[in-house]
Amino acid sequence: MKKNTGIVLKTSTKNRDLMVIMDDREGKITTQIRGNIPSIGSLITYNAHQKNSWWNIDSIELLEMPCALAKQDILFLHHLLELCYYCLPIGSSARDLVSFFHALYQRDPNCSRVIQKSIIFKLVVMLGMYPEEIILHVKKFHNIAQESIDTVSQVILNLEIEQELDQWLKSCIMSHPHARYFKTLSWYQWIH
């Protein structure tokens, strides 16, 4: 049996050891876990078995941890994970998202704020989030959304396009019904 692959989005040890995983096949799943709980952001493989609305997982193997990215900008990493936690619908396929994070962990973590915004834009589009009141007419945005995570840093944005991207992200993120729960909004410079 082929193992599932996923990214740990959230853990909790208050009442019982719970873990929320972005699973490549099943989307966002919640599981109770015994033993060592992998760190948030870890890329893991495991056997998954559904029992009612809960999932049991076993044979967990750690594939990768985003240590370099966390060391470079932990707030950025946590913002990406938080977006997935709040915006990924339960039960939707997350294969492309897990691949996105795996590629992100492989790339050089040193990137400019503009590149980070492009990465967030790409993730938000992959999650299916679009603000209702702002429509992007620029072909450049379509190119960013289609660009591989490996080459997104090669997309050149001028100041005007960056400002439009800021407005789009702000509208998109702040219109989300769970925006008030986001703990990482301080990453954005437009939040005061």
Average pLDDT over residues 155-181: 78
Encoded amino acid at 81, one letter? L
pLDDT value at 150 more than 80: no
Q: Count how many domains the chain has.
A: 2
Which of 99-103, 113-117, 140-144, 151-155 has the weakest average pLDDT? 151-155
Identify the band that residue 100 occupies on the pLDDT scale cut at 50, 70 and 90. very high
In a domain, 192, yes or no: no
Domain that holds residue 107: 67-187
Q: Are residues 21 and 75 in the same domain?
A: no
Q: Are residues 90 and 141 in the same domain?
A: yes
DSSP code per residue over 29-64 = EEEE--SPPPPTT-EEEEEEEEETTEEEEEEEEEEE
pTM, rounded to two decimals: 0.83
In a domain, 8, yes or no: yes
- Return the number of other C-beta atoms located less than 10 Å from residue 130's C-beta: 14
What confidence score (pLDDT) does residue 37 get? 81
H or E element at residue 145: helix 139-146
